């Protein structure tokens, strides 16, 4: 005898695979976002690293503890300018990085006399320094080197005491102070640039 009852439909629990699929998708998206964020972070960090100011040699422009953004491409894509604040490997110990203001370019004659700094005979107007330099001296910058000074002229270890910075030692140009938030500022001083030209 044949059973005439209609077949009962088989009900599959389709909710379980959907849940797994949505969960896997969610975690895959999070993973992709994190990987992309890390790639961008390391790319940006390669060209725009951050540095922390450790001492008082650039007071009052920079304070210890401030964080700066540095442009490593500045002098690959453009020219150095008087007044730029640069980060470089200290010539006597390249493992140490210093931050100072660019005062002299190759071929320049720098003279410090009577509390004033002169570039090729022109006195700089420097409203950003802590105090006028209490030392005198003169230097002719050789090809392939820069002359740098700290804004805290009398408390700075810089070119007036240890010599020139090889151009190849320059890490980059300081762009902005981004921390602490109440100290955010760009690092550009047109008076130094204009006075030197």
Q: Is the omega angle on the peptide bond into residue 180 within 30 degrees of 0, that is, cis?
A: yes
Tokens of 38: 């890390």
185 is catalytic: no
User: What Å distances lie between residue 179 and 4, 65, 93, 151, 189, CA to CA?
Assistant: 82, 8, 27, 20, 20
Catalytic residue among 18, 72, 100, 159: 100
The Cα angle at residue 30 between residues 25 and 36, in degrees rounded to 5? 125
Helix (H, G, I), strand (E, B) or coil at 81: coil
Catalytic residue among 18, 22, 57, 138: 57
Neighbouring C-beta atoms of residue 105, cutoff 10 Å: 19
Check if 57 is active-site. Answer: yes
CA distance 64 to 59: 8
Catalytic (active-site) positions: 57, 100
């Amino acid at each position: 005898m044949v059973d005439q009852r209609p077949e009962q439909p088989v009900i599959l629990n389709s909710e379980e695979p959907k849940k797994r699929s949505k969960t896997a998708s969610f975690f895959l998206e999070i993973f992709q976002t994190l990987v992309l964020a890390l790639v961008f972070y390391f790319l940006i960090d390669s060209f725009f690293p951050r540095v922390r100011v450790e001492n008082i040699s650039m007071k009052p422009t920079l304070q210890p503890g401030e964080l700066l953004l540095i442009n490593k491409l500045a002098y690959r894509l453009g020219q150095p300018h008087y007044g730029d604040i640069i980060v470089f490997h200290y010539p006597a110990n390249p493992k140490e990085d210093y931050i100072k203001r660019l005062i002299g370019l190759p071929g320049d004659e720098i003279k410090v006399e009577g509390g004033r700094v002169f570039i090729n005979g022109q006195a700089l107007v420097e409203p950003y320094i802590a105090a006028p330099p209490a030392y005198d001296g003169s230097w002719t910058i050789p090809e392939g080197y820069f002359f740098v000074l700290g804004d805290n002229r009398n408390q700075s270890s810089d070119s007036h005491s240890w010599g020139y910075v090889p151009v190849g030692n320059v890490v980059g140009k300081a762009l902005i102070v981004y921390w602490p938030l109440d100290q955010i500022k760009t690092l550009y001083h047109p008076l130094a640039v204009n006075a030197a030209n």
